[in-house]
Amino acid sequence: MSHWTRRNLLTAPFAARLALAAAEAGSRIKLALNTGTSPRLLQLARQLGVEWADMGQRPAGLIPPPGSPPREGTTVTSWTVAQLQAIRSQVEAAGLKIAIMPLHAFPNAILSNKERDRDIDAVRQSIRAAGQAGIPVLEYNWYLLRASAGYYEVPGRGGSGLRAFDYERIRKEPPVAELAGLTRQEIFARLAYFLKAVVPVAQEAGVRLALHPNDPPVASFRGIPQAIRTAEDLRQVTRIVDSPANGITLDTGVMRETGADVIALIREFGKRDRINHVHFRNVRMHQPFDRYTESFIDDGEVDMKAAMQAFVETGYSQAMVPDHSPRLDNDSEDHIAGLSYAIGYMRALLRR
């Protein structure tokens, strides 16, 4: 007992309380997997010890298909409570709970055409339905054309496949004629109109909105500004309507792709309670915004242990999913092996 000094005895209870508080904060994070309603992926989540489902099921394959601009005049149909309750029942029957769902498309709002308000009304109705069905968070994007044509595969450790991006591969792509001349300021103005219309409804419904930044975070693609790409852009978004219902998806990969200090941003947005979803992944950035490689979760530039600690210490309590898993030999198209590895790594971090 000689190692128990008076100082040890006085500080041990406090240290124990700190450890307990950290454990309780970590337990509030909703570790989730992108399952959609796939029985196979829902079962995998339960086998991995995951209790929460992200209803945005990822497309198959390492490289996503090239994006396309929103279609003018597309008819948008709002969700009903019955539809969402049916999805919730399917997920709960598999032993999980819904943590987050991607909001349906609203192309006319992004294009700001004569059907804009009809799309926004559909979004309002869907937010109300989500609140009644117990869906806590809805994620959405705000870009007219994703620069996904710049992705390609590079070899990773042991012959695995990693997704990389290089803006030089797409720099000379021709402009989209019908969107020529659109400015970043105009895109932000359209977003502000949208948020001022839908965030009050989300507040009333008890639903949080999470805007994912443009990924890849290049300045422009085919003449179209990628307006939501930097930390300052995300700050500006959260200032449009100052409410926890108007939050962001903090993608640790995207933020590092821009050259930002990821840990500092977690603390900044976390202390303001403006992080409503997390994509927990790692990258190696070669040139800010324009050139990077998406790495294994344990093999990039972001200190993922410090990142998880920052989420815990700022009280983050929404969904956190692994994202952009590398391709492993003998794996499935939906990268079950890679996702399983990432989930195990994340579970370990939450228990440290």
pLDDT value for 166: 98
pLDDT value for 174: 94
Element (H, E) at 42: helix 39-47
90 occurs within a structural domain: yes
pLDDT value for 235: 98
Expressed as residue numbers, the domain containing 115 is: 30-350
In tens, the pLDDT along 331-348 reads 888 788 999 999 999 999
pTM of the model: 0.92
pLDDT value for 116: 97
pLDDT value for 185: 97
320 occurs within a structural domain: yes
pLDDT value for 2: 38
In tens, the pLDDT along 167-213 reads 999 999 999 998 989 999 999 999 999 999 999 999 999 999 999 99
Percent of the chain clearing pLDDT 70 (strictly above): 92
As a whole number of angstroms, the distance between CA 225 and CA 35 comes to 32
Give the mean model confidence (pLDDT) for residues 244-271.
98
As for how many domains the chain has, the answer is 1
- Model confidence at 98: pLDDT above 80: yes
226 occurs within a structural domain: yes
Across the strands, what pairs with 138?
101, 209
pLDDT value for 58: 78
DSSP 267-323: HHHHHTT-EEEEEE--EEEEETTTEEEE--TTSSSS-HHHHHHHHHHTT--SEEEE-
331 occurs within a structural domain: yes
50 occurs within a structural domain: yes
pLDDT value for 18: 41
- Model confidence at 239: pLDDT above 80: yes
pLDDT value for 307: 98
5 occurs within a structural domain: no
Instruction: End-to-end CA distance of the chain: give it in Å, rounded.
Output: 27
Give the mean model confidence (pLDDT) for residues 267-279.
98
Please indicate whether residue 19 or residue 71 has the higher confidence score (pLDDT).
Answer: 71
3 occurs within a structural domain: no
Least confident of 26-35, 108-117, 161-170: 26-35
pLDDT band at 65 (very low <50, low <70, confident <90, very high): confident
- Model confidence at 273: pLDDT above 90: yes
Least confident of 158-167, 213-222, 226-235, 329-338: 329-338
For the domain that residue 205 is a member of, what is the CATH number? Answer: 3.20.20.150
273 occurs within a structural domain: yes
As a whole number of angstroms, the distance between CA 222 and CA 11 comes to 60
Tell me which amino acid residue 215 is.
D
pLDDT value for 26: 53
pLDDT band at 94 (very low <50, low <70, confident <90, very high): very high
Reduce the DSSP state of residue 150 to 3 states and report it: helix
- Model confidence at 23: pLDDT above 80: no
pLDDT value for 66: 84
As a whole number of angstroms, the distance between CA 182 and CA 191 comes to 14
Task: Let me know: does 263 contact 307? Beta carbons within 8 Å.
Answer: yes
- Model confidence at 8: pLDDT above 80: no
As a whole number of angstroms, the distance between CA 275 and CA 246 comes to 9
pLDDT band at 27 (very low <50, low <70, confident <90, very high): low
pLDDT value for 275: 98
CA dihedral 129, 194, 289, 57 (to 10 degrees): 20
- Model confidence at 69: pLDDT above 50: yes
